[in-house]
Amino acid sequence: MATLEIHDLHVSVEADNGPQEILRGVNLTVKQGETHAIMGPNGSGKSTLAYSLAGHPKYTVTGGTVTLDGENVLEMSVDERARAGVFLAMQYPVEVPGVSVSNFLRTSATAIRGEAPKLRLWVKEVKAAMERLSIDPVFAERNVNEGFSGGEKKRHEILQLELLRPKIAVLDETDSGLDVDALRVVSDGVNRVRESGEVGTLLITHYTRILRYIKPDFVHVFAHGRIAESGGAELADKLENEGYEAYVKGGATS
Amino acid sequence: MAENTPAGSTTDGAIQVGGAPQPIDARVSAPASYDVADFPVPHGREEEWRFTPLERLRGLHDGTAEAKGGLRIDVDAPEGVTVETVDRQDPRLGRAGKPVDRVAAQAYSAFEKASVISVPKDTVLTEPVRIGVHGEGGVAFAHQVIELGAFAEALVVIDHTGDATLAANVEFVVGDGAKLTVVSVQDWDDEAVHVAQHTALVGRDASFKSVIVTFGGDLVRLQPRITYAGPGGEAELYGLYFTDDGQHQEHRLFVDHDAPHCRSNVVYKGALQGQGAHAVWIGDVLIRAAAEGTDTYELNRNLVLTDGARVDSVPNLEIETGEIVGAGHASATGRFDDEQLFYLMARGIPADEARRLVVRGFFAELVQQIGIPDVEERLLTKIEAELEASVG
C-alpha cells in the first residue's frame, strides 16, 4: 500500500531580503485510500507544501524528508516524482501555447504509464472521462489551458487526475473560484478517483465548502508553516463555525 | 503570450491610415535601382539596416566583397520545364522588380550568369522542381528567375547548403491564373552569410505561395517582396526559423497592394535559443489607393526558449483606401518559461520532451503548409536536432 511520509519538512523561498522560511517542520503521513484535508488561513504555507511535494524549483527544502513507499521523493526531479505517482492539481494551471490538450494528455499518459496507451482504447478512455466531467469534446483540440475559464482549468486538472491515476493526489485549492455546479462536477471527479481506493488524497483548501462533497478522513489545520491541529471530519465543522482566528493569533502571518 | 515578452525584444509595429508621415516606401534610404552605385554604403543607422550587423556581411554591403567563391547550382526539373543559363543582357531578367537595397543591387550588378527556369503556359507539374544551391566557400553573386506561363502550376524547392557568402536575387514571375509554390530552405553551414531579395510579380488571378525555412548560417537576411500585376492575385507568405547561439536571421517582407481585389496572408514563426541568437522580422504591407477590395493579414510569433536571445518584430500596415475587405496584423513574442516546463514535467514528461512538445506544436501548422513530405520530414528532424543541441 502506497504511503507518503512527510517528516519535519522545512522549506524556504528566496525573497527580496534573502531566504524566507515558509514551512517550519511539517509532519504528515498519507496512505493510499485516505483523504486528508489541509485547511488554513492565507499565507499559512498550504500551497508551499503542495508545490514542494511536486518539486517546484522556486522552493528550497532546507530540512526534513519526504518518502513515497520508502523512496526519497526530494531527490527526484519533477517528472520523476510524477512518474513515481505524485500528482499535483494546481491552483493556477499554466497555459502552454502550441500544445493541444489531446497531445498533452497522451504524452503525459505515455510518460506515466511507461508505454503509449493503445490509440483506440485511449480515445475511448479520454472521451468517457471528458463526458463525466462535462468537458466539451472540442477542448481536446484547444491548446492546454489557453483561454480556459477558471472552471474549465480545474476540470482539466481533474481530467488528468482521472487519466493518470496517481498514488498520491495533491489538490491545491481545486475548489477556489468555482461556482456550486462546477464544484459538484469537480468533486464528483475526485470522488470517482477516491472510490478506487488506490489513491491517497491531500485536499488543500481555504474553505469548508468542498468538504460537503468530498468527505475527509482527517482534517489538519495549517498555521505558521506547520500543522497546528489534527482531527477527524468534525474539526472542519469547528472551523466552519469559528474560523481560523484561534490559529492566527499569537503569530506573525501575512 | 504578449505579456511575457523577453527583455530586450521589440514588437513596436504600427498601423497608419492615410497621410502617413513616413510612408513605408519612403523609409528606405534610396529608391529601388539595378545599379549598386545608386545606393550609398550603409553605416547601420538606416531604417533598412538598423538591425543588421554590417560587420558580419563580409563586405557584401560596401563593395569590398569579390566574387572568388564557388557556388554550385543543380536543377532537377521534371519534363516540360525549361532550364537555361543566360547572360546578363537576357531580357527576361529584372522584370519582377528592382533591387531595393545596396546588397541586392550589388548582387544584380555583379552576377555573371543567371538561371532562368520556365514552366510553359497551361503546364501543370506533378513533381517539384528542385534547385540545389551549394556553397563551396567564398563570395558569390547569383541571379535566378522562375517563370510560370498563364495557368501553369508548379512547386519549386530551393535548397541552400554548404558554406558561402552569397548575395542573390530570385525573381518569380507568375503568369495570369498560374499557381506557384516556392519552398526556400536555408540549411547553411554555421559560417555562411546569405543576403537575398525574393521578388514576386503575381499575375491577374494568380496565386503565389512562399515558404521560407531558415535554420543555418551565421547571418541570413531575406527580403520576400510581392507586387501584383493585375487584380485578383493571391499571396501566401509563410516562414519558419530556428535561431541559435550567435545567429542573426532576418526576414523583411513587403507586400505592395497596388491592384484591386488581391489578397495576402503572412505567417512567420520563429524559435530562438542561446546567447546572441537574434531574429528580426519586418512585415510591411502597403495598401495603395487603387487597391480596393484588398484583404490582408500578417502574423509573426516568436518562441524564446532560453535567456540571451533577442527578437525584433515590427509589423507595419499602411492603408491609403478605406474600400478594403480586411487588414490586420499581429506580433507576439513569448518565452517557453519555467512555469510551463514545470507544468509539463509535473505530468511526468521529461524536460527535453517537454521542450520538443512545445516547439513541435508551435511549428506544426506551418510545417503542414510545405506540402512536400520529404522536406517536411527533414524539417522535423532538423528541429529535433536543434533541440537536442540545446538540452544536451
Residue-wise pLDDT for B217-255, tens only, equals 999 999 999 999 999 999 999 999 999 999 999 999 999
**Sign of the alpha-carbon torsion through B36, B37, B43, B46:** negative
Task: Tell me: pLDDT of A248 over 90.
Answer: no
Of B338, B348, B362, the CB nearest to A79: B348
* Mean pLDDT of the region B170-178: 98
* Mean pLDDT of the region B307-327: 93
Please report how many Cα atoms fall inside a 13 Å half-sphere around the Cα of residue B36, on the Cβ side: 19
Contacts with B362 from chain A: Cβ below 8 Å: 97-98
Q: Does A108 touch chain B (CB under 8 A)?
A: yes
Of B334, B342, B364, the CB nearest to A78: B342
Residue-wise pLDDT for B89-148, tens only, equals 999 999 999 999 999 999 999 999 999 999 999 999 999 999 999 999 999 999 999 999
Of A54, A96, A143, the CB nearest to B344: A96
Task: Tell me: pLDDT of B164 over 70.
Answer: yes
CB atoms within 10 A of CB B192: 22
Fold (CATH) for A3-248: Rossmann fold (3.40.50)
- Chain B closest CA to A241's CA: distance in Å? 36
Domain ranges of chain A: 3-248
Q: Which residues contact A118 (CB under 8 A, 6 or more apart)?
A: none
Predicted confidence at residue A191, as pLDDT, reads 96
Least confident of A57-71, B8-22, B48-62, B190-204: B8-22
Contacts with B334 from chain A: Cβ below 8 Å: 97
* Mean pLDDT of the region B261-277: 95
Contacts with B346 from chain A: Cβ below 8 Å: 54-55, 78-79, 81-82, 87-88, 90
Q: Does A1 touch chain B (CB under 8 A)?
A: no
Q: Does A90 touch chain B (CB under 8 A)?
A: yes
| Rounded CA separation A6/A49 (Å) | 10
Predicted confidence at residue B370, as pLDDT, reads 83
Of B1, B343, B348, the CB nearest to A94: B343
Cell of B317: 500596415
Of A78, A98, A107, the CB nearest to B346: A78
Least confident of A123-132, B11-20, B166-175, B185-194: B11-20
| Rounded CA separation A172/A178 (Å) | 13
Domain ranges of chain B: 2-339
CB B274 within 8 A of CB B245: yes
- Chain A closest CA to B210's CA: distance in Å? 23
* Chain A residues 118-147 with CB within 8 Å of chain B: 143-144
Cell of B169: 536575387
Task: Tell me: pLDDT of B19 over 60.
Answer: no
Predicted confidence at residue B385, as pLDDT, reads 85
* Mean pLDDT of the region B161-183: 98
Chain B residue set in contact with A, beta carbons under 8 Å: 1, 303, 334, 338-340, 342-351, 353, 357-359, 361-362, 364
Q: How far is CA A238 from the centre of its chain?
A: 24
Q: Where are the alpha helices (DSSP H) in A46-100?
A: 46-54, 78-84
Cell of B162: 554548404
Task: Tell me: pLDDT of B86 over 80.
Answer: yes
* Mean pLDDT of the region B325-348: 92
| Rounded CA separation A217/A214 (Å) | 10
Contacts with A93 from chain B: Cβ below 8 Å: 343
Predicted confidence at residue B27, as pLDDT, reads 62
Cell of A218: 482527517
A108/B348 Cβ within 8 A? yes
Predicted confidence at residue B392, as pLDDT, reads 40
Mean of the per-residue pLDDT values for chain B?
91
B208 DSSP β-pair partners: B180, B235
Which residue out of B333, B337, B343, B359 would a mutagenesis test of the A interface target, given it has the greatest number of A Cβ atoms within 10 Å?
B343
* Mean pLDDT of the region B170-181: 98
A72 DSSP β-pair partners: A67
B338/A82 Cβ within 8 A? no
Least confident of A243-247, B42-46, B224-228: A243-247
Q: Which residues contact B224 (CB under 8 A, 6 or more apart)?
A: B198, B200, B210, B212, B237, B239, B251, B252, B253, B254
- Chain A closest CA to B300's CA: distance in Å? 14
- Chain A closest CA to B298's CA: distance in Å? 18
**pLDDT confidence of B1, banded at 50, 70, 90?**
very low
Of how many residues is chain B composed? 392
Mean of the per-residue pLDDT values for chain A?
93
A112/B347 Cβ within 8 A? yes
The percentage of residues in chain B with a pLDDT greater than 90, rounded to a whole number, is: 78
Least confident of A90-99, B47-56, B99-108, B190-199: A90-99
**pLDDT confidence of A252, banded at 50, 70, 90?**
very low
CB A122 within 8 A of CB A109: yes
| Rounded CA separation A109/B374 (Å) | 30
Q: Does A84 touch chain B (CB under 8 A)?
A: no
* Mean pLDDT of the region B255-281: 96
What is the 3-state composition of chain B as percent helix, strand, coil, each rounded to the nearest 5? 15, 45, 40
- Which amino acid would we find at residue A241? N
- For B357, the 3-state DSSP assignment is helix
Of A87, A98, A160, the CB nearest to B361: A98
A96/B343 Cβ within 8 A? yes
Q: How far is CA B34 from the centre of its chain?
A: 20
Task: Tell me: pLDDT of B199 over 50.
Answer: yes
| Rounded CA separation A224/A247 (Å) | 9
A57/B342 Cβ within 8 A? yes
Contacts with A169 from chain B: Cβ below 8 Å: none
Nearest to B237, CA basis, from B285, B304, B279: B285
| Rounded CA separation A47/A205 (Å) | 9
- Which amino acid would we find at residue B41? V
Of B334, B349, B351, the CB nearest to A97: B334
Of B303, B357, B364, the CB nearest to A107: B357
**pLDDT confidence of A126, banded at 50, 70, 90?**
very high
- Give the A:B interface size as CB pairs under 8 Å: 78
- For A75, the 3-state DSSP assignment is helix
* Mean pLDDT of the region B208-217: 96
Q: How far is CA B249 from the centre of its chain?
A: 10
CB atoms within 10 A of CB B15: 14
Cell of A135: 468537458
Predicted confidence at residue A215, as pLDDT, reads 94
Task: Tell me: pLDDT of B20 over 70.
Answer: no
Of B342, B344, B348, the CB nearest to A56: B342
Predicted confidence at residue B371, as pLDDT, reads 81
A83/B346 Cβ within 8 A? no
- Chain B closest CA to A17's CA: distance in Å? 23
Q: Does A78 touch chain B (CB under 8 A)?
A: yes
- Chain A closest CA to B41's CA: distance in Å? 42
**pLDDT confidence of B18, banded at 50, 70, 90?**
low
